[in-house]
């Protein structure tokens, strides 16, 4: 298929493609070098060269010659800027050689156009990256062969577009290609690994896997057919005297190569790609769209990228005078006539620098200010608040990469949300690859960390599948995670305690999640955790602070989990530890207990739940065994009464003022965990019932209630009142221990009955013994109870109030 479609031919007839950039420099190579200044319109571009390129490279306007507008002044070319549409025509009158694509290339092009890329906009990134590679190669070869730069020392990329006709032209002043290199590069693909690549791609497609292999630079050129119906490549190598033109169309099995004979289309060196866009994709030719794609993908390419942009400047122009005002002016002969002007905007087209060739992460950290780091963070991630911390580092050795990481001031997403984050931007040789590598460079719980990572060691054909299998990525992940923890540790060590309080408020739950999921980094996570304690006065403390305040004889780190801080502070489990002045961590967040259970220990100190059995507080075993023998009969009597509700009944060493408590078995759920499991929608009731049965009922032998029950056990074990009191005691212990009774209504009935028995007739008998209020009102102090005959006794107000 050599002929273009009717639509493409008509479009080509209406437009002309922009000429190469470097030809402007060659046009006046004999002009002596002079000091030059920098133009305001394009940073880093000599003003004279900028104006020259504006005329020579800009497309011609019908009926006007740009060359005529040039004037030689003081040995420099100065050109006027004209309005331009950037239209181009690429007619082919000369004979062209026809070549067939290699079979694998034909199949690959079909896959690229129809299934490989799901995001069409990557075509511009691929072409800019190829142009950058050509410039890199030229710069490298010119070190040993300076003659390669004889046609112009400038190394840049220029992109011009015609939005009306859907034409994009990309020109680089790189190494270019000879005719054979053109055939080898665009007509064939190296056989090594090609068949395997196509086979793996086909298998993944049949398996329904993601085929969005963003970053496959090896097939980057063919991505042009995602948006183009025809592509023309004109290239000139410094090793060849001829310029060749490669032309191919989408859905075609062949391409043509011819020699360029048109003098206006010759370029001194490099490659010019002209893309004739499909009808549905002409929006990519809009200058603003191109500018946006360059900012996103190729902002930090090491060579300057210029785009052909419409600009404007304001100027004052004269306007015709209003006739009415002119007549009024004739009446006053002495008034001098004033010329009226208005401000207008005159538009023109010119080159504009569209990228920053020196990214901030390549600079020396000592030379970058905090304001620059913050500004880069806000601009890159669309933030308005400064980050809490940043880390700029370079990793060398087995794997080399540069990175800047940030901790945001606030957390926007929920850790329970499974949506992917786009907080890490991955670059390969300063070319943006993707920000959709969630979980590969950072674990999920550290997804709040934002930053950029630039590596030269990653393969250029980066995909999520390659990242998951790459050993380089695994090494990068370890070092990035370590740097992230160092950055957070720096916040915790800040003199301003409020900084870490802000961090903990936003990301505390995330770190607890990391303690549950990431066993490999437990030692880095543990120092960052914060909890309430029985001695912290409602302030969060670190584990380091707890260990520092431990008693000399204390061996373990004690904790208790509850549903609120008030419940934790008033639990009966704290009684003996408070007496010994042992500090206890208070876990009031649902994640606290699970996080600590996964940590197991800290600085050789085990975490001990004081609500579990076998709590060792350093008491004498002989004294305890003696008490157990005294109350062994009572313990058996209570166990027989409670049955399967408890695993056993034991003497407590943790109580002082409470009569009893219900503790969890060594391998059972705690009361807090049972409460959480009850709340689970998909909870396993079978497991719940089994774990609930593993409770130990501990009694305090020094309490009056237990002493009374001990006497009842020895004298009248079948006494109904004693058994009823025992039932109420057990269910009350469940409540004080953080558990829920099996039958709250039955427990309430028993309590009401006991209250009724205790208070029955107590206050009613006292009310009957009191005198009548009416009699008291008529009695006066110091007088007889019977009033004197014939005497009227009036009650005194004060005395009456006192009787009331």
Residue 219 annotated as part of some ligand binding site: yes
* Cα-Cα end-to-end distance for the chain: 116
Binding site annotation covers 44?
Answer: no
> Is 193 among the annotated ligand-binding positions?
yes
Q: Can you read off the two tokens belonging to residue 658?
A: 């409470």
DSSP state letters, 419-447: PPP--EEEEETTEEEES--TTTSS-GGGT
Tokens 């920098």 map to which residue?
A: 38
464 assigned binding-site residue: yes
Residues in the chain: 804
Question: 453: number of CA atoms within 13 Å, CB side?
Answer: 30
Annotated binding-site residue? 691: no
Neighbouring CB atoms inside 10 A of 493's CB total 10
The answer on whether 216 is annotated among ligand-binding residues is yes
Is 531 among the annotated ligand-binding positions? no
Candidates 382, 527, 498, 501; CA nearest to 450 is 382
Contact between residue 754 and residue 705 where contact means Cβ atoms under 8 Å apart: no
Closest Cα to residue 595, out of 582, 584, 585?
585
**Tokens 């896959």 -> residue:** 111
Helix and strand counts by DSSP (H, E) for the chain: 28, 25
177 is in an annotated binding site: yes
Sign, CA torsion 502/445/420/416 = negative
Cα four-point dihedral sign 453, 456, 462, 465: negative
List 450's β-bridge partners, or say none.
406
State which H helix or E strand residue 541 sits in: strand 541-542
649, 639 Cβ separation under 8 angstroms = yes
Q: What is the per-residue burial (b if ≥16 Cβ within 10 Å, else e) of 541-565?
A: bbbeebeeeeeeebebbbbbbbeee
Residue 247: strand pairing partners: 232, 256
Residues 422 and 436: beta-carbon distance below 8 Å: yes
Q: Does the annotation list 271 as a binding residue?
A: yes
Q: How many whole angstroms separate alpha carbon 444 and alpha carbon 449?
A: 10
Nearest to 88 by CA among 157, 171, 177, 150: 171
DSSP one-letter code for 36: -
Tell me whether residue 126 is annotated as binding. Answer: yes
- Whole-Å CA distances, 227 to 85, 119, 193, 222, 666: 21, 11, 27, 10, 67
Is residue 85 marked as binding? Answer: no
DSSP secondary structure letters along 679-714:
T-TT--HHHHHHHHT-EEEEE-TTSHHHHHHHHHHH
Q: Is 192 labelled as part of a ligand binding site?
A: yes
Distance of CA 776 to the CA centre of its chain: 82
How many other β-carbons are positioned within 10 Å of the β-carbon of residue 782?
4
What residues are designated binding site?
A: 126, 130, 172, 177, 192-193, 216-221, 271, 464
What residues are designated binding site for ATP?
A: 126, 130, 172, 177, 192-193, 216-221, 271, 464
């Amino acid at each position: 298929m050599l002929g273009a479609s009717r639509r493409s031919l008509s479009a080509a007839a209406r437009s002309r493609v922009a000429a190469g950039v470097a030809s402007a420099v060659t046009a006046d190579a004999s002009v002596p070098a002079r000091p030059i200044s920098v133009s305001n319109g394009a940073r880093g571009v000599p003003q004279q060269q900028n104006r020259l390129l504006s005329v020579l490279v800009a497309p011609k306007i019908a009926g006007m010659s740009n060359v005529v507008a040039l004037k030689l002044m003081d040995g420099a070319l100065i050109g006027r800027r004209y309005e331009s549409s950037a239209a181009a025509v690429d007619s082919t009158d000369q004979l062209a050689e026809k070549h067939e694509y290699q079979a694998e290339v034909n199949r690959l092009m079909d896959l690229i156009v129809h299934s490989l890329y799901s995001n069409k906009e990557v075509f511009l990134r691929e072409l800019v990256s190829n142009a950058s590679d050509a410039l890199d190669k030229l710069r490298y070869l010119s070190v040993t062969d300076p003659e390669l730069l004889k046609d112009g020392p400038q190394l840049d990329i220029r992109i011009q577009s015609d939005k009306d006709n859907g034409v994009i032209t990309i020109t680089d002043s790189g190494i270019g290609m000879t005719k054979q290199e053109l055939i080898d590069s665009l007509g064939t693909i190296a056989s090594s690994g090609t068949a395997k690549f196509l086979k793996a791609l086909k298998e993944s497609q049949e398996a329904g896997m993601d085929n969005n292999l963003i970053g496959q630079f090896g097939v980057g050129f063919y991505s042009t057919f995602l948006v183009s119906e025809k592509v023309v490549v004109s290239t000139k190598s410094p090793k060849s005297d001829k310029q060749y033109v490669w032309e191919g169309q989408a859905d075609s099995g062949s391409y043509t190569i011819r020699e360029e004979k048109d003098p206006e289309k010759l370029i001194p060196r490099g490659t010019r790609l002209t893309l004739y866009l499909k009808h549905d994709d002409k929006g990519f030719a809009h200058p603003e769209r191109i500018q946006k794609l360059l900012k996103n993908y190729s902002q930090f390419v090491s060579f300057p990228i210029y785009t052909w942009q419409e600009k404007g400047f304001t100027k004052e122009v004269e306007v015709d005078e209003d006739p009415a005002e002119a007549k009024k002016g004739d009446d006053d002969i002495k008034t001098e006539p004033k010329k009226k002007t208005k401000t207008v905007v005159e538009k023109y087209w010119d080159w504009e620098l569209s990228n920053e060739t020196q990214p901030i992460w390549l600079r020396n950290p000592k030379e970058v200010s905090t304001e620059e780091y913050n500004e880069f963070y806000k601009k890159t991630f669309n933030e308005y608040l400064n980050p809490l911390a940043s880390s700029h580092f370079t990793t060398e050795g087995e794997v080399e990469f540069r990175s800047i990481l940030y901790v945001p001031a606030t957390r926007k997403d929920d850790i329970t949300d499974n949506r992917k984050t786009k907080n890490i931007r991955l670059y390969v040789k300063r070319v943006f690859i993707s920000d959709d590598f969630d979980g590969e460079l950072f674990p999920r719980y550290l997804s709040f960390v934002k930053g950029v990572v630039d590596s030269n060691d990653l393969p250029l054909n980066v995909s999520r599948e390659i990242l998951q299998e790459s050993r380089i990525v695994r090494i990068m992940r370890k070092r990035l995670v370590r740097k992230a923890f160092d950055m957070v540790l720096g916040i915790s060590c800040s003199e301003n305690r409020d900084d870490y309080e802000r961090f903990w408020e936003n990301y505390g739950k995330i770190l607890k999640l990391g303690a549950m999921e990431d066993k490999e980094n437990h030692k880095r996570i543990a120092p960052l955790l914060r909890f309430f304690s029985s001695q912290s006065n409602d302030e969060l403390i670190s584990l380091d602070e707890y260990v520092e305040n431990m008693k000399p004889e204390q061996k373990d780190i004690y904790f208790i989990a509850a549903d609120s801080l008030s419940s934790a502070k008033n639990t009966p489990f704290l009684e003996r530890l408070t007496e010994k002045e042992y500090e206890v961590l208070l876990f009031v967040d649902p994640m606290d207990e699970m996080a600590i259970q996964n940590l197991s220990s800290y600085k050789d100190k085990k975490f001990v739940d004081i609500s579990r059995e076998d709590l060792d507080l350093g008491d004498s075993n002989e004294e305890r065994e003696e008490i157990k023998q005294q109350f062994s009969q009572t313990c058996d009597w209570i166990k027989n009464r409670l049955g399967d509700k408890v695993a056993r009944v034991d003497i407590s060493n943790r109580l002082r003022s409470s009569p009893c408590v219900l503790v969890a078995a060594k391998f059972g759920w705690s009361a807090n965990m049972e409460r959480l499991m009850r709340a689970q929608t998909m909870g396993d009731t079978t497991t719940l019932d089994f774990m609930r049965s593993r409770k130990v009922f501990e009694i305090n032998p020094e309490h009056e209630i237990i002493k009374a029950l001990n006497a009842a056990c020895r004298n009248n074990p079948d006494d109904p009142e004693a058994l009823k009191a025992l039932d109420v005691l057990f269910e009350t212990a469940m409540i004080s221990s953080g558990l829920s009774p099996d039958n709250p209504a039955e427990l309430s009935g028993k309590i009401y009955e006991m209250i009724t028995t205790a208070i029955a007739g107590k206050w009613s008998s006292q009310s009957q013994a009191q005198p009548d209020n009416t009699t008291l009102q008529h009695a006066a102090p110091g007088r007889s109870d019977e009033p004197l005959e014939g005497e009227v006794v009036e009650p005194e107000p004060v005395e009456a109030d006192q009787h009331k």
